[in-house]
Structure 1
Amino acid sequence: MTPSGPPGNSTPGGPPSSTLTRMDIVIREVRPTEYDALGAMTAQAYLQDGLLDFGESDSYLTELKDVAKRAAAATVLVATAGDTLLGGVTFVPGPGPMADVAAPSEAEIRMLAVTRAARGRGAGEALVRACVDRARAVPGCTAVVLSTQPTMHTAHRLYERLGFVRTPDRDWNPLPEPADITLLTYELTL
């Protein structure tokens, strides 16, 4: 996992965070040697942002950490700058074991996470754009869908800026209890 800190701190193998630009970011498929680091980084991002209702004991934490399982059923992409892991996302090309809301002819974006040090510098946007590009390459794919938590306002603005629109009729609850855990859905028509 890449340590995060205030802007200007250097991370091992990467540029000082204050000089990170969009041109420094490379999007590629995760390597098996990075599974543990990406899993830890994703879990840490969700925990730090208070996105797991049950904290360290949340059952979703195990799923976030299990990059090998995700990579076996979908495409896991990472954003890097040099040797520094900035973030990751799971691209699901259609309905299947990793899809939550994708219908036939839809791809899905899941588990987008970016380190705090890389936020606001284009890593999240680059990961979402890479998923959209991949969806456009899937024969018959007509849309990209995703679920997000109501409190993820920065992510909502990113999705809307990239052309995603809210689809309230598809909002859903991943758990039977408590009933107030409703995930918002967005869709981008290709």
Structure 2
Amino acid sequence: MSLTVRPITPADYDAVARITADAYLGAGYFDSAEYPYMQKIMRVGERAAVAPIIVVERNGVVIGSATLAVNGDEWADIALPDELEFRLLVVDPAVQRSGAGRAMVNAILAQARETPGIRAVSLTTGDDWHGAHALYRKLGFTRVPERDWPIPENGKMLRVYRMEL
């Protein structure tokens, strides 16, 4: 099974919206796709118009995506001036633990290393997304607990990880 990481195209928007909803709702972060934040992140075309999005595909089928941002971007939550932040990294729950998340993170790290002025990669992940925590630690990210922050809508804590390049 080969995995390919590439920039999103409009043909991918519906798949990315479905995968995003399945991942966030499946993890219990929201009760419904009608929640305002869910509606925002599922408007993939609007997101892609202002932020780089990558997808990972297996055998020609999109199975995951991630949104990239730098300090000051509309989709940046935590990026410091020398950081590339990735957000909304999702893998279709039906194929999680397939290497898709790792493939996207490796592509993001490669891009960050080629971007002038970027010296680190940061991310936020859910407090109880233990599989994601394990992946990020395995890839070399470290916790930055002083930068943790709560989701405004429900108060659940988000964990910040960072990797110096």
TM-score (structure 2 length as normaliser): 0.93
Residues 79, 123 of structure 1: 8 Å contact kept:
yes
Whole-angstrom distance in 2 between the partners of 1:55 and 1:174: 16
Report the equivalent of 1:144.
121
Does structure 1 residue 181 correspond to structure 2 residue 159?
Answer: no
- Identity value in percent: 37
Partner residue, 1:5: none
| Inter-partner Cα distance in structure 2 for 1:87 and 1:37 | 9
Matched residue count: 165
> Could you list the runs of 5+ residues in structure 2 that have no partner in the other structure?
none
1:98 corresponds to 2:75? yes
Counterparts of 2:164 and 2:151 in 1: how far apart (Å)?
24
- Per-residue CA deviations over 1:35-94 (Å, capped at 9, x if unaligned) read 122112211211122122x43332211122111122122211111112211111112244
How much has 1:136 moved relative to structure 2?
A: 1.0
Structure 1-normalised TM-score?
0.81
Please point out which of 66, 70, 74 is paired with 1:89.
66
Match of 1:32 in 2: 10
Q: Distance in 2 between matches of 1:49 and 1:174?
A: 15
The one-letter code of the counterpart of 1:36 is: D
Task: Find the partner of 2:27 among 33, 49, 55.
Answer: 49
Task: Structure 1: give runs of 5+ residues left out of the alignment.
Answer: 1-20
